[in-house]
Amino acid sequence: MIPHARWLKLAHALLCVSVAVVLWAPRVSATTVAPPPGAVPAIDDAAAFELAPVTVDGVELFRVRGTMALPAAERAKAIRERIKTLAGDRTIPTDSLRVIESADRSSLVAPGYFVMAVYDADGEIERVPRHVLAETARNKIVQSVKMYREDRTPGVLLANTLRAVAVALGALLLLWLTERLFKRLRGGVRRQLDTRIERLRSMTGRVAQTETLTALIWGLVTALRVAWIVVIAYFSLNIVLGFYPWTRALSRRVFSIVLDPLQAMGTAFVDALPGLVFIAILWIVTRYVLKVIHAFFDGVGQNKITLSGFDSDWALPTYRITRVLIVAFAIVLAYPYIPGSGSDAFKGVSVFLGVIFSLGSSSIVANVIAGYSLIYRRTFKIGDRISVGDITGQVTNAGALVTHLRTIKNEDIIVPNSLIMNSNVTNFSTLAASKGLILHTTVGIGYETPWRQVDAMLKLAAERTPDLLKDPPPFILVLSLGDFAVTYELNVYTDKPLEQARLYAELHRNVLDLFNEYGVQIMTPAYEGDPEAPKVVPKDAWFAPPASRLPSSGAEKGKTPAGE
């Protein structure tokens, strides 16, 4: 707990004083001309007419209509100036304002002053008789004149000035106490924060993380302090402006700048509350359905639930498709209940986003469709070794848009799914576990070497190579009888497709050693004549410097048929 709790109590007392000052300010409510009890109330058809308010010292008395010759704003301004002129003449009693009826109008006049006229059309707008509307307007004008004169008397002005000075001093006192309070609060928070931050730093060892947390907390404290100062200044200014009749209209305008948006938001929230409740219930139901579906497909993916003809590798992509469909259906249901969904602005933004998505998502949609097509066609899965065009590697990630391949050089190659869809894909892993992957290599041997000897040497090289399958056994194919050499193909089986590069290297080393051991010359890639000496490496030169005699492959570990 932060020390100096008495400062918190003082802050609570200051808040109470602020509320009391606000409630102490004089209040003058704006009124409009309302028909007396028993009169026919106005209907919404009056909105079809142009109406303008008649205001005196920021207080709205009533609204008047306009005509083609005299717009409502000009008529309201003229009436306001006449009322102010009448109120400024203190020799005219306020009760001297009378209603004089004539054939087409009701005139409001005082000795030597004409204030306004009420016509039959004015009464038709409010759906009340003309003389009733005129009498109501007279009462409002009389009250306004009394208040106008009273607010400008020396005694009232002096009292309001003293009140304004008191409010200003109170605001300064609140600001001073606020600074003292936040200074104390800052010290307490710093002590508590330093202790907890040091403990967090010792546990995580991350200095940057703790510094970010410290900056965030201090930012929140500073924002709270600034917001409180703004509130004090705002209410103090509004109260002071409301003390004087010349600035009372400005006071109401300043007050409405904040209250009107809050009121509008509150009204909109209340109106949208049933729709928001529907959206909340729909969200809960959708979330529950997605959890049930996720549990089902998770069981399918782990082979706990078996579906006939449904591969377990399809579980995750099928769940993703189902989730998208369910969420899309929920959005369609919730759309009419979203606040503002029927407004033109909301529709315009929706159309704009739709156009952007349609223009920029053609390749994305193509890759997504291709990605799911590859999954359901069982083209490959994670961990398979595949070849796409001139790219060969192990599948490390198969996403909806791209597939990641890791080559034997430890390179991560990102291939768009649409490119894979339009290319020939060779999968080295599909049949490797069940039937074995065939690795093959070719050599060209002269016609003077018996083919049976070549066949035996190639098979022996296969036997010396580790990680090759003994069953099925290796086999030899005679591919061609060339102009200068016979082309033999050695075929071996392995169940380790990810180690092709190593197996080929071991196999080629053993082939070279076997042919050197038996003094058989490999004729490829070209042969034009017999050399003076066979192009073979004698056994005593196999480990010429800097080669090591330590066995590094199956070739050094094996033995020749002659027992060497």
Residue 339 has which token pair? 């606040």
Residue 317 has which token pair? 């992509």
Domain with CATH 2.30.30.60 in the chain: 365-427
CA distances from 245 to 42, 131, 148, 369 (A): 31, 31, 8, 71
Could you tell me the strand order of the sheet in which 486-494 lies?
A: 437-445, 486-494, 475-481
Asked if CATH classification 2.30.30.60 holds for the domain at 365-427, the reply, yes or no, is yes
Tens-digit pLDDT profile for residues 104-131: 888 888 888 898 888 888 888 878 888 8
Distance CA 118, CA 74 (A): 15
| Residue 36: other Cβ atoms inside 10 A | 11
Look up tokens 């391949």; give the residue: 405
pLDDT at 27 exceeding the cut of 60? no
Check: CB of residue 150 under 8 Å from CB of residue 244: no
Domain with CATH 3.30.70.100 in the chain: 437-557
Distance CA 311, CA 316 (A): 11
Distance CA 400, CA 386 (A): 18
- Burial class of residue 105 in the structure, from the number of CB atoms within 10 Å of its CB (0-12 exposed, 13-18 middle, 19+ buried): middle
Tens-digit pLDDT profile for residues 363-388: 777 777 777 787 777 788 888 899 99
- What's the mean pLDDT when you consider all of the chain? 78
Please name the fold of domain 437-557: Alpha-Beta Plaits (3.30.70)
pLDDT band, residue 33 (cuts 50/70/90): very low
The pLDDT assigned to 59 comes to 81
The pLDDT assigned to 510 comes to 93
CA distances from 175 to 172, 182, 221, 226, 248 (A): 5, 10, 16, 11, 25
Q: Highest-confidence range of 20-29, 43-52, 206-215, 511-520, by mean pLDDT?
A: 511-520
Q: Please name which of 58, 100, 95, 99 lies closest in space to residue 80, comparing C-alpha atoms.
A: 58
What is the pLDDT averaged over residues 270-284?
89
Tens-digit pLDDT profile for residues 163-219: 888 888 888 888 888 888 887 777 776 677 667 666 666 665 554 455 666 677 777
Check: CB of residue 94 under 8 Å from CB of residue 146: yes
Q: Highest-confidence range of 172-186, 200-214, 238-252, 346-360, by mean pLDDT?
A: 172-186
